[in-house]
Amino acid sequence: MDSASINLKVSHEATFSIKCPEDEEDNGITGIISLSSGDVIVADNQNNVLKLFDSDGIYTFSAQDPQYTMGITEMSGEDFATCGWDREIFFWTVRDQKIVQLDGGNEVEHDADGIRYNGENFVVLHRFDNAITILDNEGSIKDKLVVKEAFGKRINFGFEIQLDIAGNIYLPCVEESKGVLCLSLEGDCLWHCELPGNVGGLTFINAVMCVVSTDLKCVHLIDSTSGSYLRDIIGKTDLEEDPSNICYSHTSGNLYLTFNVWGKMKEKVSVFSIS
């Protein structure tokens, strides 16, 4: 682990709203990603739309979402994919500052809560079934993992999932298994990092992982190789509400943090700079 990764400095830059005049319901952010351009996509499932913002949070475009989206993942360039409780995976791209749905789609067996892609495989989280579906590059199902216990503990998943280039899967855990669980694509339990609060969003910054504590109002930093806790990079004094989803942009160097869908900041995204 290099010292630069451990000693990351974080500062709050801005907070922007995803609320748009055409919204018919209160906002509820269930996913956020940054594309290679630096643009940000937000899934607002209370209004069934995907919203496009630039790296500074300036609103650009909305696209109607055909399902109750729960998960979203960047793919390559301006392409991304979504999943949801209609048990579908849909594929999208950004063209001329507009979100366009691509032809095709794939069904999965259970309600889908999270999705990630690493250039070779997709992993889809089904938290109510303690299951993970693994799909190939075309979206065809390859395997399914069921994880109910690990390291002597019953596992209860949160609403997110992460996947690295090596094929390791990272899962947020809640209740008695609070922390982050790391699995191989074959289902081997590699490590479990115990943390004091329930875990929400996960994102990578180089070799470290930012881990949202949804009930302690903070973001932890852990070593994604060993699962060791390093420190908190965002603390309780930095946040007004319980955080939820998180993503990091390698293009802009910004960290984007969303908030509980039932809280007073449910339509807000906070932007932090990383140095």
Domain coordinates of the chain in residue numbers? Answer: 3-274
**Which residues, 6 or more positions from 262, have their beta carbon under 8 angstroms from its beta carbon?**
none
Residue 3: DSSP 8-state: H
The pLDDT mean for the chain works out to 93
Residue 191 in this model has a pLDDT that exceeds 70? yes
Residue 174: DSSP 8-state: -
CA dist., res. 272 & res. 253, Å (int):
9
Stretch 150-167: mean pLDDT: 93
Q: CB of 225 within 8 A of CB of 180?
A: no
DSSP character string of 13-30? EEEEE---TT--S---EE
DSSP three-state, residue 2? coil
Q: Can you give the pTM of this predicted structure?
A: 0.95
CATH number of 3-274: 2.120.10.30
Residue 6 in this model has a pLDDT that exceeds 70? no
pLDDT tens column, 195-246:
999 999 999 998 899 999 999 999 999 999 999 999 999 998 888 899 999 9
